[in-house]
Amino acid sequence: MKILVLGSGAGGGFPQWNCNCRQCAGQRQGELTAHARTQSSIAVSADGQAWALLNASPDIGQQLRRYPQLHPRQGLRDTPIKAVVLMDAQIDHVTGLLGMREGPCIDVYATPCVFEDLTTVFPILGVLEHYCGTRWHMLPVAGSTTSASFMIDGFASLRFTAVAIPGKAPPYSPHRRDHTVGDNIALFIEDFHEGSTLFYSPGLAHVGAEELKWMHDADCLLVDGTFWAEDEMQQAGLGRKTASDMGHLPQTGDPTRPGMVDVMAATAARRKVLIHINNSNPILDETSEQRRLLDGHGIEVAYDGMEITL
């Protein structure tokens, strides 16, 4: 299985266009040892020919231009992107669909909750009907069904499993305050040929027994790296919301709750990688003490263009 990180930043990317915080300003001025990052999305492939996007970022145009693997190959109009799987209906994960409107009808894999948001309060799928159109593949994660395995045409050696996880529906969604099973999923992907597995979860609010079970079975973890600390936005004067308010488990824990670093340290995955890094997170600074701590645990920080082969 090949994984290509198209974007490794959280909503807003890094540096964020309107942000003058120490890190965003420092990156712009070349005073910080940190790479710019577009908003999060990854592409996966079994053969390097057909690719599936996991989330479609608003930065998709820039991302698709940058990576030759995703360029057209034959014929006048062509794309190796055969499907888009959505983890939630957040703006930074779905608006890239609009950037694919010049291409063929898009095969979209998502839960009923996500299809509902994207056809009612944020009706981009209806809008796309006037362009390329979308073919819906309903992932039956809803009600008491908390996981569902599925295959994608053209990816015969990969089995995908959508797993309901604790998280937050987008701020615009009626589910924001009324969490519904299917608002947020993680993906567990198995490659039958290589015998390898990936757990992908860019927005994960809590790791309980169920999430841990999936994480324990994965060779590679690619998980929520949004915030280092619960009150990071407040500390930086950037906002009032905590990591929990936004549906993200911070890397550092407290006596009542282990952080993502503790969780990852307790798994046996070969690769442990944080993705969807917010511009306020000190791990963006490659010389930071927080980054050294991650290194000590064998935890990597995803960057745009990172390739992982499993």
- Residue in this structure with the two tokens 């994660």, named with its chain if needed: 141
- Strand order in 185-191's β-sheet? 147-150, 158-164, 185-191, 196-201, 220-224, 271-275, 299-301
Among 3, 6, 9, 11, binds Mn ion (CB under 5 A): 11
224 binds Mn ion (CB under 5 A): no
Rounded to whole angstroms, the Cα distance separating 219 from 241 reads: 33
- Inter-residue contact 251 to 283 (CB < 8 Å): yes
Distance separating alpha carbons of residues 20 and 27, to the nearest angstrom: 10
Binding site partner of 91, from Zn ion, ligand MLT, Mn ion, none, Cβ cut-off 5-8 A by kind: ligand MLT
Q: Does 13 bind ligand MLT (CB under 6 A)?
A: no
Q: Output the smallest distance, CB 15 to ligand MLT, in A.
A: 15
**Residue 27 or 279: which CB sits closer to Mn ion?**
279
The correct pick among 4, 6, 10, 19 for binding Zn ion (CB under 5 A) is: 19
Q: Which is nearer to Zn ion, 28 or 270 (CB)?
A: 28
Nearer to ligand MLT, 133 or 239 (CB): 239
Question: Helices marked H in the chain — which ranges?
Answer: 22-28, 60-66, 91-94, 112-117, 124-128, 209-216, 232-235, 260-265, 289-296
Examine residue 96 and tell whether it contacts Mn ion (CB under 5 A).
no
Q: Indicate whether 203 belongs to the interface with ligand MLT (CB under 6 A).
A: yes
β-bridge pairing 185-191 and 196-201: antiparallel
Please identify which residue in 21, 91, 132, 293 interacts with ligand MLT, judged by CB under 6 A: 91
Min dist. Cβ of residue 12 to Mn ion (A) = 9
d(CA 120, CA 128): 13
Nearest-CB residue for ligand MLT: 11
> Measured from the CB of residue 51, what is the shortest distance to ligand MLT in angstroms?
23
Q: Should residue 90 be labelled a site residue for ligand MLT when binding is judged by CB under 6 A?
A: yes
**Distances 69 to 63, 74, 77, 105 between C-alpha atoms, Å:** 11, 13, 15, 20
Which residues form the interface with Mn ion (CB under 5 A)? 10-11, 90, 92
Give the residues lining the site for ligand MLT (CB under 6 A): 10-12, 90-92, 203, 246
